[in-house]
Amino acid sequence: MSKPVLVLASRNQGKLRELRELLRGQVPGLDVDTQVVDAATAGAGDPVEDQVTFQGNALKKAREISASTGLVALADDSGLSVDVLGGAPGIFSARWSGVHGNDEANIDLLLGQLGDIAAEHRGAQFVCAAALATPQGEEHVELGKVQGVLRTERSGEHGFGYDPIFEPAGAGKTMAEHTAEEKNAISHRARAFAALLPAIIDAVGKALAK
């Protein structure tokens, strides 16, 4: 079995599949199914997200996991930015209600906060920062964004987080009403990693050449 050269700073298998498909056929000699791995497979820990920006959190995770594994590392941090809330929940999106990962409570709180806000002022965006770090100290960060508006009620059964109340601009349906394939084609994460792709290809190519 080929040794890993690229580690994704996540244990999320959906994210790993997305990354493998993004890289499939892009780097000569790279076997994405064995050489692109998740943090658990690489024996990496869970860096603390204690920075104050998406970019800061993503870069910290990539930097620490690259240092601990000796591999090229990728990480991301993402969330929802609401215009009338000055960009909040932002980096606190996953724990807006006070409990990390409680999607229903987070949505309930946000809908309550926006209860008297008219439709034309419910603009928001999903934001993702994707970062790359290498053992040699090379670092890159890119942002991906999806503009949209927030509904007043949930709609759709797919996705996670704020997807049931976020309607991408021009879509006519919430992110939770998109299929996984449709969402992956327009998501903030897909856009961030696509922007980072040239740096990923270059770093992985160098690692394979060693």
The one catalytic residue among 31, 38, 77, 103: 77
Tell whether 77 is in a known binding site: yes
Tell whether 17 is in a known binding site: no
Tell whether 11 is in a known binding site: yes
Tell whether 189 is in a known binding site: yes
- Go through 146-182 and write b for each residue having 16 or more CB atoms within 10 A of its CB, e for each that does not: bebbbbeebebeebebbbbbbbbeebeebbbbbeeee
Tell whether 122 is in a known binding site: no
* DSSP string across 102-143: -HHHHHHHHHHHTTT--GGG-EEEEEEEEEEE-TTS-EEEEE
Tell whether 183 is in a known binding site: yes
Question: What is the separation, in whole angstroms, between the first and last Cα of the chain?
Answer: 17
Residues near 46 by beta carbon (within 8 Å), at least 6 away in sequence: 39
Tell whether 188 is in a known binding site: yes
Query: Does the active-site annotation cover 33?
Result: no
Known binding-site residues for substrate equal: 10-15, 78, 160-163, 183, 188-189
Known binding-site residues equal: 10-15, 77-78, 160-163, 183, 188-189
| Residues noted as catalytic | 77
Known binding-site residues for Mg(2+) equal: 77
